[in-house]
Amino acid sequence: MYKIVKKRVLNPTVVLMDIVAPAIAKKAEPGQFIILRVDEEGERIPLTIADFNRENGTVTIIFQIVGKTTQALSELEEGQFICDFVGPLGVASHVEGLKKVAVIGGGVGSAIAYPVAKKLHNLGAKVDVIVGFRNKDLLILEEEFKAASDRLFIMTDDGSYGEKGLVTAALEKLIKEGNEYDEVIAIGPLVMMKFVAQLTKQYGIKTVVSMNPIMIDGTGMCGGCRLTVGGKVKFACVDGPDFDGHEVDFDEAISRSSMYKDFEKHALEHHCNLMEVK
């Protein structure tokens, strides 16, 4: 059992938790993820490691409430436990040697972009961060990003905070202004990563994306998370989750991610109905 020692509601649908898992905290690196199971009947879901504290032995996760499992997780409080917590899984992000980087986060994906930006910043790289949200209420980690970047650009779809528009608009503007990036790192919804990759391809800027397919075990034994990268089949859980954004077949990944949409909707509704009865 793994204890929740901190819970912070970042916005109406995004929650941060610190989980006691010393062995994982000792080894974790930005870009890696964990698999958790809330309770005995629960499914296994992957969540990227948003931060870690080696001294305190804690691992930070930030998740959006999108279905039954994340809803159930969000209902747990400090001092309560989750049943299973496995990691660190996947390959750590390669950030060594980078001098100037644009880190792009979309929605809750920003939580995953944060540790990468922080590590690059600590290594002395120049880091421009662009984060995008639907509106001001959904903005997360503003202070953290300020501390981990040279420049922070906040975009909202409706213009309720920062600049109005998509992250790609901000990125294109920076590129056109003459900023030369060694690499662009994009983490967020598949559609956002697809368009960032399309944009940077035109300018020939290396782009790394963090893929988030459906997973079960997270250790390479089922292939549920497979993707096509550069024409080859890769397992995101062991070969990734980071891949060259110009090589990923995004349309296939978007299609595969919808495999259990009906089931998930049903499970969430069922769960919510149960709560109303209470």
Partner 1 sequence: MANMSPKKLEMPVQDPTVRNGNFEEVALGYTLEMAQEEASRCLNCKNSPCVSGCPVNVNIPGFITEIQKGDFEKAYEVIHESSSLPAVCGRVCPQETQCEAKCVRGIKTESVGIGRLERFVADYHMTNSKEEVKVPEANGHKVAIVGAGPAGLTCAGDLAKKGYKVTVFEALHLAGGVLVYGIPEFRLPKAIVQKEIDTLKAMGVEVLTNMVIGKVISIDELFEDGFEAIFVGSGAGLPNFMNIPGENLKGVYSANEFLTRVNLMKAYKEGSDTPIHNSKSVAVFGGGNVAMDAARCAKRLGAENVYIVYRRGEEEMPARREEVEHAKEEGIIFKNLTNPVQILGEAGWVTGVECVEMELGEPDESGRRSPIVKEGSNFVLDIDCAIMAIGTSPNPLIISTTKGLETNRRGCIITEEETGLTTREGVYAGGDAVTGAATVILAMGAGKKAAAAMDEYIQSK
Interface residues toward partner 1, by CB under 8 A? 23-24, 27, 37, 41-44, 68-69, 83-89, 216-217, 219-224, 226-228, 233, 238, 252, 255-256, 258-260, 263-264, 267
Tell the residue number behind the tokens 């397919």, with chain if given.
213
Residue 36 · residue 43 · CB < 8 Å: no
For residue 99, the minimal CB distance to partner 1 (Å) is 30
Query: Is the Cβ of residue 127 or residue 215 nearer to partner 1 in the bound state?
Result: 215
Return the percent helix, strand and coil in the chain, to nearest 5.
30, 30, 35
The CA-CA-CA angle for residues 108, 84, 39, to 5°, reads: 90
For residue 1, the minimal CB distance to partner 1 (Å) is 10
For residue 230, the minimal CB distance to partner 1 (Å) is 14
Whole-angstrom distance, CA of residue 114 vs CA of residue 148:
8
Please choose, from the candidates 110, 99, 89, the residue with its C-alpha nearest in 3D space to the C-alpha of residue 31: 89
Query: Is the Cβ of residue 189 or residue 224 nearer to partner 1 in the bound state?
Result: 224
Residue 216: which residues within 8 A CB-CB, separation 6 or more?
44, 222, 224
Query: Is the Cβ of residue 66 or residue 263 nearer to partner 1 in the bound state?
Result: 263
Query: Is the Cβ of residue 42 or residue 189 nearer to partner 1 in the bound state?
Result: 42
Query: Is the Cβ of residue 192 or residue 237 nearer to partner 1 in the bound state?
Result: 237
Query: Is the Cβ of residue 56 or residue 263 nearer to partner 1 in the bound state?
Result: 263
Asked whether the bond before 241 is cis by omega within 30 degrees of 0, the reply is: yes
Orientation angle between helical segments 167-176 and 190-203, nearest 10 degrees = 20
For residue 52, the minimal CB distance to partner 1 (Å) is 13
Structure tokens at 231: 């024409």
For residue 84, the minimal CB distance to partner 1 (Å) is 4
The CA-CA-CA angle for residues 36, 37, 42, to 5°, reads: 150
For residue 208, the minimal CB distance to partner 1 (Å) is 21
Whole-angstrom distance, CA of residue 148 vs CA of residue 220:
33
